[in-house]
A and B are shown apart, each in its own frame.
Chain A
Amino acid sequence: MDEALLRSLTPTVLGVLVRRGADFAAAEDAVQDALVEAVRAWPTDPPRDAKGWLVTVAWRRFLDATRADAARRRRENLVDEQAAPGPAPTVDDTLQLYFLCAHPSLTPSSAVALTLRAVGGLTTRQIAHAYLVPEATMAQRISRAKRTVSGVRFDQPGDVATVLRVLYLVFNEGYSGDVDLAAEAIRLTRQLAAAIDQPEVAGLLALMLLHHARRAARTAPDGSLVPLAEQDRRRWDTTSIAEGVQILQAALARDRLGEFQAQAAIAALHADAPTAEETDWVQIVEWYDELTRLTDSPVVRLNRAVAVGEADGPRAGLAALAALDDALPRHTAVAAYLHERDGALSTAARLYAEAAQKAPNLAERDHLTRQAARLNARRYR
């Protein structure tokens, strides 16, 4: 059974239920039940019309739950069992679901969880595993999120920028578990790009594809990080790069630049270089200037300092770095790298060791410790 196909039907089926008058929270539960049922029943009894099957089963589950609810509360049944099929689902339903699940009233972690469940069709257990929290915790997070958006009208237009931020988070902070969250983020962004035609949506999709293309080369067999300059570029996924570049070029041609397009442009310039030495750092610095203009983010300025160090030499990079707050995450690591390039090896070794102490994750810590060790070994032996 094609689980990706099954999950891709989730927002459509949910949209149908909501159009028929089901409230979002109850409809979402019913669709989850139907998905679980499909996983159980389809391998032996595949339906001819997958979507029709899911709508029928989800609607029945919704009616059962509502009836049980109504009976418990001694209230009259609010829904008519023979509900009209309602207007045919359109891509707008899918888009509205994205907006609802990324509603500004939700915290980022709630929006991520709700999007993965209601739009992505993942189970609570899968999401909990992916984010390394107990299943009960994730269940609570999702049900609170559903309560938070319960008053939001389904037909209100939303802000696509909030949706993009949520998808970016899913891609960038995907941890582990049996679900590949980076691939899932790409799938959801692709689906969004099909529902709404905006250059920034395309920009984010291109950004994800270009970074995902490097995944196999990013870690050594022992699990350690391989920096961009040392990656075996033959292991980059050229199909993914070609698609990312094509999507990016079409987006840039529309002349409505945004931060995701600019980030994707930088990733594309790296993808374009046959070797690290052939990287067009001058153009990358120009894109970082655009990004600084668009976001004014200190993290962008830090990355820009690295690019300046490559384009104009380590001294220029260190000068750019000097203008930045040294409490910025990875500031010390960047300083270590630029000092090494400048030939100040003992300073670099000391800074690498210091940066390792401040590393936000184990892979980076190990990498930075190795850098310090490499320089120290050169000095002592």
Chain B
Amino acid sequence: MAKYLLLKHYRGAPAAVNDVPMDQWTPEEISAHVQYMHDFAARLEGTGEFVDGQALAPEGTFVRYDGEGRPPVTDGPFAETKDLIAGWMVIDVDSYERAVELAGELSAAPGAGGKPIHEWLEVRPFLTAPPTITE
């Protein structure tokens, strides 16, 4: 088993095929999309492959240490940041091929006109603990 992160971007991924902002969909299309996402997660729970799924607010802050006795420096949010993560799903699957298959299904979630969004999702393998048997 290996864990993969399926990353959804607000910005930074190549443009989706059906690239219409959500507030330009009909309310029914939004409901269909939300339902698809719920069903997808529920199905992966059923197959024992779901680990976690979370959504992130679009606005964040950059923070860094600024030396002993000083409060951390904060900066941003930066409107020009190229890459902005919207959320993720963590899956635990048998193969890379399975991870890609599932990401493909997630990307088929319906959007404007009830048609698949064909959104680009990023698939990133987790770095794992070293195996016990090494030779």
Contacts and interface: CB of A to CB of B under 8 A. Distances in A.
Contacts of B30: 366, 369-370, 373
Main SS at interface, chain B: helix
Contact of B22 (A222, A224, A373): A373
A377 B27 CA distance: 8
How many B residues are at the interface, by size bracket? 10 to 19
A349 B23 contact: yes
Interface stretch (B54-62, B91-99, B125-133): B54-62
Interface string B38-82: 100000000000000001011100000000000000000000000
Given A357-B58, A358-B57, A362-B55, A376 B24 contact: yes
A352 interface: yes
Contacts of B55: 362, 365
A356 B31 contact: no
B57 to A, nearest CB: 7
A365 B22 CA distance: 11
A372 interface: yes
Given A222-B31, A366-B30, A369-B30, A356 B23 contact: yes
A22 interface: no
Nearest to A352: B23
Contacts of B57: 357-360
Interface residues of A, number: 22
Contact of B23 (A224, A360, A362, A372): A372
A332 to B, nearest CB: 13
Contact of B27 (A359, A360, A370, A380): A370
Given A349-B23, A376-B24, A358 B59 contact: yes
B13 to A, nearest CB: 18
Given A357-B58, A362-B55, A366-B30, A373 B23 contact: yes
A144 interface: no
Contacts of A374: 27
A223 interface: yes
A370 B38 CA distance: 17
Given A357-B58, A370-B27, A374-B27, A223 B22 contact: no
By Cβ-Cβ distance, the 7 closest A-B pairs, closest first, are A372-B23, A353-B23, A370-B27, A373-B27, A377-B26, A369-B22, A374-B27
Interface of B: 21-27, 29-31, 34-35, 38, 55, 57-59
Given A223-B34, A370-B30, 18 more contacts: A222-B35, A224-B31, A357-B57, A357-B59, A358-B57, A358-B59, A360-B57, A362-B55, A366-B34, A369-B22, A369-B23, A373-B22, A373-B24, A373-B26, A376-B23, A376-B24, A377-B26, A377-B27
Interface of A: 222-224, 349, 352-353, 356-360, 362, 365-366, 369-370, 372-374, 376-377, 380
28 contacts: A222-B31, A222-B34, A222-B35, A223-B34, A223-B38, A224-B31, A349-B23, A352-B23, A357-B57, A357-B58, A360-B57, A362-B55, A365-B55, A366-B30, A370-B27, A370-B30, A370-B31, A372-B23, A373-B22, A373-B25, A373-B26, A373-B27, A373-B29, A373-B30, A374-B27, A376-B24, A377-B26, A377-B27
